[in-house]
Chain A
């Protein structure tokens, strides 16, 4: 019987040497004349164990990790193909606590299936949602998504169903579904993982969005920093066309839907939805003033749904299992699950999909295991470069849109970057301003000029030049940026700056430089 060996092709696994491991395994299989098939799967998201190799045995999957090429021969000696014991053995991957504690709805298949096998996709519940959707009236699909409570996973948290309803109700000779795959926030990688590890779920979600709103064309705006995700998505779109999932008759229905993958060009601001639309149109990524909303006048002036990758990839399970099923997870107005990304200086860094409601402390200390460096956790930045820095004192905050807003923070795209006690929060605040200056589209003054003035002011503070005055100035500047900027880049840069200042004031009072003796 042919044995299947899984070796991830996820960028994170590749960054840790998965390609060399794959070559070594291929070689051993050949030398030992074994009847084995290698599948390049996505990652399960346990990055401290990557590259994680799995073998399909009669008793189920057996995992090994983290594997390096030099371990491979000894793994075969230990009976890898039958799941034999080896110092790198992890046993049944599903029993690893980090995985066992998760609720994988959106990431149900990621790391398990061959990302480009339609057969695997169907065998693991794929296409059930789309099959249900093609038989439904568009308004009923929209109602189901609205009822599920799904909110935009890109960061803004706007109810997905309401966005769709606006597009459905807007007349247009042509409508678009645009997927925002410009995942530029540091500490986030869930979009990348799903596009590399289960691309069909995004395609299925977009096709459902198209049928629900009357849009026939979709675009995925994918950042250029993710070349492997682009390769996977392009291949998956081709396969989906051949399988009749995309095309003039989606799954044999009268609905037409097709899509294209477009690669960005390194501008962070293009993750902002209107800037993204400008970029797709072939223009400078300048933010548009709203209204008009993209749902009314979006891409090329047509009604457009613009959703994040994870929002769209969460739709198939809602259409498969029903709104109530999805809604039963979560807390308050944050329904369903959220793929939390534990990143930076974390002992167990990776993707943890769970219902809303875990506290920040549970995520960082229990699931993430504290820091990788072994030093105390000083701060965590939640929600990317525009998210607030949280001190330990706020670790009781539950992971929920409203709870984070109440603490002057945001969930954003659910990335958490852990910092140990060596972090200098003044430097982090300065970086937030510097990053805003580098990436500002330049359209509005608070963002374009404010960010540069912010860097200068914080530099003066670091040099201890009239520190109290600089703190007042930066506070006032942040207020101007927050309320005067056109989009979240200038408007949210104050979150990391002010949270660093408010929660870690000691870092903003540098030791006075001793006056030179006269």
Chain B
């Protein structure tokens, strides 16, 4: 169950993330990465706080957050499965693997399972092109995906 974050809590945690990175040259991306790590996504409430701290407009912050594929505006599932959709994986049957995974998890790309267990995301190249098709589950790489490995992934995200 997703807990509603209390306003003051968000404020304090956001400020602390900002303070950690604001001395860097070009601090916005590191701040956004920090917030996503802190909250699991970049809450809309944090954008005006960032804008004020960096002395840029809210539109600029919004523009940056929405430009990059990595930043989410809502929480992901407990597990995040990133499946490579690029050419090297396609050459090894990646499209069929994607269909199998999608069916096994009961969700499409950019979707989160109803029980909140897993979010499925497309990714364009994990640099595992000599062991395709590949994926990344919660930051850990998985190569040469096949039916057995899909079963293992499904078991892991459901456990």
Say if the beta carbon of B102 comes within 8 Å of chain A: no
Is A15 a contact partner of B131 (Cβ separation < 8 A)? yes
Residue of B60, B67, B87, B128 near A15 (CB, 8 A) is: B128
The residues of B that contact A251 with a CB separation of less than 8 Å are none
| A266 CA / B69 CA spacing, docked (Å) | 5
Say if the beta carbon of A242 comes within 8 Å of chain B: no
Q: Which residue of A lies closest to B133 (CB)?
A: A344
CB distance from A462 to the nearest CB of B (A): 15
Q: Which residue of B lies closest to A282 (CB)?
A: B28
CB distance from B117 to the nearest CB of A (A): 22
Residue of A267, A417, A439 near B91 (CB, 8 A) is: A417
Residue of A12, A372, A423 near B143 (CB, 8 A) is: A12
Is A16 a contact partner of B127 (Cβ separation < 8 A)? no
CB distance from A483 to the nearest CB of B (A): 25
Q: Which of B6-14, B73-81, B134-142 contacts A (4 or more CB under 8 A)?
A: B134-142
- Name the interface size band of chain B: 35 or more
Say if the beta carbon of A225 comes within 8 Å of chain B: yes
Say if the beta carbon of A50 comes within 8 Å of chain B: yes
Binary contact readout A273-287 vs B (1 if CB under 8 angstroms, 0 otherwise): 000000111111100
Is A283 a contact partner of B91 (Cβ separation < 8 A)? no
Is A343 a contact partner of B27 (Cβ separation < 8 A)? no
| A122 CA / B52 CA spacing, docked (Å) | 48
Is A349 a contact partner of B129 (Cβ separation < 8 A)? yes
The residues of A that contact B27 with a CB separation of less than 8 Å are 282
Is A266 a contact partner of B130 (Cβ separation < 8 A)? no
Is A417 a contact partner of B129 (Cβ separation < 8 A)? yes
The residues of B that contact A48 with a CB separation of less than 8 Å are 130
Is A225 a contact partner of B129 (Cβ separation < 8 A)? no
Binary contact readout B132-159 vs A (1 if CB under 8 angstroms, 0 otherwise): 1010100111111000000000000000
Beyond A280-B26, A344-B91, A428-B87, is A188–B33 a contact (Cβ under 8 Å)? no
| A88 CA / B108 CA spacing, docked (Å) | 40
Q: Which residue of A lies closest to B139 (CB)?
A: A227
| A50 CA / B143 CA spacing, docked (Å) | 11
Is A342 a contact partner of B87 (Cβ separation < 8 A)? no
CB distance from B85 to the nearest CB of A (A): 9
| A469 CA / B39 CA spacing, docked (Å) | 51
CB distance from A443 to the nearest CB of B (A): 11
Binary contact readout A406-440 vs B (1 if CB under 8 angstroms, 0 otherwise): 00000000010111100100001001000100110
Is B87 a contact partner of A265 (Cβ separation < 8 A)? no
The residues of B that contact A280 with a CB separation of less than 8 Å are 26, 29
Is A266 a contact partner of B68 (Cβ separation < 8 A)? yes
Is A285 a contact partner of B68 (Cβ separation < 8 A)? yes
The residues of A that contact B38 with a CB separation of less than 8 Å are none
Q: Which residue of B lies closest to A46 (CB)?
A: B130
Q: Which of A73-81, A127-135, A149-157, A179-187 contacts B (4 or more CB under 8 A)?
A: A179-187
Which B24-68 residues sit within 8 Å CB-CB of chain A? 24-30, 32-33, 54, 60, 63-64, 67-68
Say if the beta carbon of B113 comes within 8 Å of chain A: no
Residue of A227, A228, A279, A415 near B129 (CB, 8 A) is: A415
Residue of A50, A192, A373, A423 near B127 (CB, 8 A) is: A192
CB distance from A285 to the nearest CB of B (A): 6
Is A225 a contact partner of B126 (Cβ separation < 8 A)? yes
The residues of B that contact A139 with a CB separation of less than 8 Å are none
CB distance from A90 to the nearest CB of B (A): 17
| A314 CA / B47 CA spacing, docked (Å) | 42
Beyond A282-B29, A372-B92, is A431–B87 a contact (Cβ under 8 Å)? yes
Say if the beta carbon of B105 comes within 8 Å of chain A: no
Say if the beta carbon of B125 comes within 8 Å of chain A: yes
| A188 CA / B147 CA spacing, docked (Å) | 25
Is A15 a contact partner of B143 (Cβ separation < 8 A)? yes
Residue of B26, B63, B126 near A284 (CB, 8 A) is: B63
CB distance from A142 to the nearest CB of B (A): 25
Which B87-114 residues sit within 8 Å CB-CB of chain A? 87-92
Binary contact readout B16-27 vs A (1 if CB under 8 angstroms, 0 otherwise): 000000001111
Say if the beta carbon of A346 comes within 8 Å of chain B: yes
The residues of A that contact B129 with a CB separation of less than 8 Å are 186-189, 341, 343-344, 349, 415, 417
Say if the beta carbon of A294 comes within 8 Å of chain B: no
Is A188 a contact partner of B131 (Cβ separation < 8 A)? no
The residues of B that contact A11 with a CB separation of less than 8 Å are 126-128, 141
Which A178-227 residues sit within 8 Å CB-CB of chain B? 183-189, 191-192, 217, 224-227
Beyond contacts A265-B69, A283-B28, A417-B91: 18 other A-B pairs, Cβ-Cβ < 8 A, are: A14-B140, A186-B84, A186-B125, A265-B70, A266-B68, A266-B123, A281-B26, A282-B27, A282-B29, A282-B64, A300-B26, A341-B130, A344-B90, A345-B91, A372-B92, A385-B86, A419-B91, A431-B90
Chain A interface (Cβ < 8 Å from any Cβ of B): 11-12, 14-16, 45, 47-48, 50, 183-189, 191-192, 217, 224-228, 260, 262-268, 279-285, 300, 341-346, 349-351, 372-373, 381, 385, 415, 417-420, 423, 428, 431, 435, 438-439, 441
Chosen A-B contacts, 26 in total, with CB atoms closer than 8 Å, are A12-B127, A12-B128, A14-B141, A15-B128, A15-B134, A47-B130, A185-B125, A187-B88, A188-B125, A189-B130, A224-B70, A262-B30, A279-B29, A282-B26, A283-B64, A285-B67, A285-B68, A300-B25, A300-B26, A344-B87, A344-B89, A344-B91, A349-B129, A417-B91, A418-B91, A435-B86
Chain B interface (Cβ < 8 Å from any Cβ of A): 24-30, 32-33, 54, 60, 63-64, 67-71, 82, 84, 86-92, 123-132, 134, 136, 139-144
